[in-house]
Amino acid sequence: MAAQAAVPAQADRSPTYWRQAYQVSDYLIESVSLRFELDPVCTRVSATLTVYRHPAAAQTGALPPLVLQGEALTLERVAINNVELAATDYTLTETSLTLPVPAAHFTVQTTVTLAPAQNTSLMGLYVSNHNFFTQCEAEGFRRITWFLDRPDIMARYQVRLEANQADYPVLLANGNLVATALLPNGRHAAEWQDPFPKPSYLFALVAGQLSCVESTIRTQSGAEKQLQIWVEARDLDKTEHAMQSLIRAIHWDEQRFGRELDLDRFMIVAVSDFNMGAMENKGLNIFNTKYVLANPAIATDVDFANIESVVGHEYFHNWSGNRVTCRDWFQLSLKEGLTVFRDQEFSMDMASDFGAQPLARAVRRIEDVRALRSTQFVEDAGPMAHPIRPDSYQEISNFYTATVYEKGAEVIRMLQTLLGPVGFRRGMDTYFARHDGQAVTCDDFVQALADANPESQVDFTQFKHWYSQAGTPRVTVEQHFDAATGTIRLDLTQRCPPVGIERQQMAGSTDKQPYLIPLKVAFFSTEGQPLETACFQAAAAEVIQHEHLLQFTQAKQSFEFKGVPAKHLAVIPSLGRDFSAPISLQYPYSQQALITLLAHDTDPFNRWEAGQQLFQQEILRLYTWAQEQDEAALSRHAAGVEVNAALLAVVAQLAQDQTLAPAFREISLTLPSFNVLTETLVVIDPARLHWARETLRAAIAGAVAAHWETLIQQTSPHLPPVVAYAPNAEQAGYRAWRNLCLQYWVLAESELVSSPARVLAEQQYWAATNMTDRLAALSVLTQESTASEILTDFAAQWQHEPLVMDKWFSLQAMAAPSATRSPVAILQAVEHLLQHSAYSPRNPNKIYALLLRYFANNPAGFHWQSVTGETPSYDFWVAQVSAIDAFNPQVAARLARTLEQWQRYVAPLAHAMQRALQQLQQQPALSKDVREVVEKALQ
């Protein structure tokens, strides 16, 4: 990558790029003129670059040569100042074009050809369903033309597209349409001009047979803006939700952050072949169809929510990413962490009607944290662990990660917590005003917030450890309570040992610099009464209040609170409220203390958290017992093992608590995921952990067996057909709760020959008027292997809807082992599904729906060995990752990461995973994307 100096690695490895080696480019590009003669077999691209010497570049006397990047390009012509160069005048390699420089200001003309129809990597210019699309982030533009393909090169673009009019009637690019023309031989042209300088990764074009829905809005300044969503004609009826989400996002950004849409036209285009979720190209967003297309028949409530979130995310990038962009790719979280935070806030405001329904906001927050723990916390514990601002990489596409995105968002949220909403908004205003039109760094962002809040008590220098250090800090809390004086002392300890690549870089060191951790705390009596206390800190005034925001800045630090009434002999701390920092918090709660918090905590997040800890304690107790049993003993005790009766009583009470919103009950009675449960395990045994989790799930189902039917009936007045279907948070919450109750009820009656619960599930499947209920019923029914008739019916009904079939593939890929479904049968089913007519072997959505779900989301079904010690599922993994790597390295690398945690598993599985990784490493022509993942996993 040109933005950083490459440091050669071992001969058989890709070079490593280092953040500290960054140097400004010798040259900048003022303007770009591109002409595309589009043809799927051979597209010709003619480029004119207006280049000038970077004023900040090192002045060494003679002008250095201009080095442009390119990949998979056939060079036809190169000229400087319109004077064509001979082959002896320049140096051409597979990835670089080195040109002599005649003066400090000059033009470069190149003509290249490329083969879009053969571009299976889906990076650069490619063909999908006979239409042209582009994906240029991070380094795809170099697959279109020779260029300084780095994010700190911001230029103005003028683009002319030429194509056969019958085949490609729609020609789109960034910016504003300035001219159209009819050409000989049935061809036509469109010229687009983008008034805003942008880096090459934000370039986009689309050409093909597409149809459009339009809407016109007025922004806060009174300007009229045109909004367009382009899709295939058959999908026009699935765009309304995306359009309304876009309109809501535009108005929300005006209201919340003062950011106004700057272009006259804003376009979204949907494509089914896309490596990512969506791409924020300036004014021409390109989306995976799964984040655009929706109606009640094909999309679930989760789909509707995800579309709103992703549409918001990509629109918000218009300012946090496009108007202000990254200096280099190490700063990726500058735009992605900030924009994830913004889309999370948007989604919470939409769900809660701008705070009018606080519990709905809390549910969205819980969902975000649950996802963070299931993915990012696991990443932080593995060989690919990295800070939100990495210090090095071999392939940048491997760092579009949960750490950079979701943990990056939590870092931004901590800044808002520390500065308060007003101070944070003031800092954001300063950031946008100061850096509009620039490519900047994470340090620049933090400095803008600091400069906007000079009276703040935040040590921003210490806070930036969140940007430079990897891993999840572990905070241990000890509480000391003096009932005689009503004084509480919290003793806090933080540790974050080196993880991932830090282990090599910090050899001999056992810890890192302490973080500045904002920790929200409160206290309750043993009866659940909220207590008001005064916190004594050197820099803070004594304020008597229920909740306190602590700045935990040292490796060990104590905080004292006074004012507990004398009648209380004990107090219960509520720690890390609203998940105020992305940490692992450890406190020795008793079961009764957690039950009290579950019933009475005034913070919805910690109320949910108390329940999750109760579940986790019980599952880990069962897991510990199971580790001492053989499989035969587990089968014998599956029905008769004792589960904590007090916990089951609390669950039954929670399920029937009509004061709680259905969405909150649903999320509270959903057990911790496999990944979350493994966080505290030294050694992972997937089969026994699955057994322990399923044992508790069955016990909960039985404990509330007499009430599930009533609980389901209580939702009916709030759902269709009594009310019209709407994918809003309130109605989605009722549906989620109803379907969880149905799932538990079917489980409770699984031993019955004729089960009323199963009859209801079948009725719901056949009568459902929306995909949420239909898919939920199908999921419940496929817990048993006897649902082949319904699975066949579903496929027959939806075989022509690719996004719906993705759900069908995923459902079967994630089907866990059971008494009637062995891991062998699950593997065979996945292998069989690869041959299904609806499966497209080169479509990323299909690969993720089937293979990624099997590898990553079916731990007990994927991680197993036969009685003879063979691991056919890992052999299957090697074959699939290797095959996909040959045509799409980005997708293959994502699959490859599913074995990176191999060292944490029980020895037989760990050794087998290691062998699989070594076998993959030895594959000929392994891509640098996959090689980096495998090598780091094996270190």
Residue positions annotated with a catalytic role: 314
Q: Identify the residue whose tokens are 């060990």.
A: 556
Query: Distance (Å, rounded) from C-alpha 199 to C-alpha 3?
Result: 12
CB atoms within 10 A of CB 260: 15
190-to-162, 206, 226, 262, 881 alpha-carbon distances in Å: 7, 11, 18, 22, 41
Identify whether the C-beta of residue 133 lies closer than 8 Å to the C-beta of residue 206.
Answer: yes
- Tokens representing residue 825 in the block: 């049968």
What is d(CA 892, CA 915) in angstroms, rounded to the nearest whole number? 18
Name the amino acid, one letter, at 515.
Y
Q: Are the beta carbons of 917 and 906 closer than 8 angstroms?
A: no
Q: Residue 426, Cβ neighbours under 10 Å: how many?
A: 17
Pairing outcome for strands 156-164 and 27-37: parallel
CA dist list (Å): 924 to 12, 91, 229, 883, 931: 11, 29, 43, 11, 11
Q: What are phi and psi of 205, to 5 degrees?
A: -145, 155
**Contact 496/473 with Cβ under 8 angstroms?**
yes
Q: In this structure, what token pair is assigned to residue 800? A: 């022509």
Say how far apart CA 355 and CA 334 lie, in whole Å.
27
Cα 329 off chain centre by: 18
The answer to whether 317 and 340 have CB atoms below 8 angstroms apart is no
Buried residues in 123-135 as b, exposed as e (16+ CB within 10 A): bbbbbbeebbbbb
Q: Any idea what DSSP says for residue 915?
A: H
The residue length of the chain stands at 939
State whether residue 230 is helix, strand or coil.
Answer: strand
Count of beta carbons in the 10 Å neighbourhood of residue 503:
15
Q: Which pair of structure tokens corresponds to residue 610?
A: 């108390």
Q: Are 320 and 338 in contact (CB under 8 A)?
A: yes
- Measure the CA–CA gap between 844 and 802, rounded to whole angstroms: 12
Residues 6+ apart with CB under 8 A from 264: 176, 225, 226
C-beta separation of 352 from 652 below 8 A:
no
> Mapped to the 3 state alphabet, what secondary structure does 57-87 carry?
CCCCCCCCCEEEECCCCEEEEEEECCEECCH
365: which 2 tokens?
A: 């927050």
Sheet with 224-231: strands ordered across:
211-218, 224-231, 265-271, 284-288, 278-279
Q: Let me know the angle formed at the C-alpha of 832 by 829 and 833, rounded to the nearest 5 degrees.
A: 85
- Positive or negative torsion for Cα 277, 280, 283, 284: negative
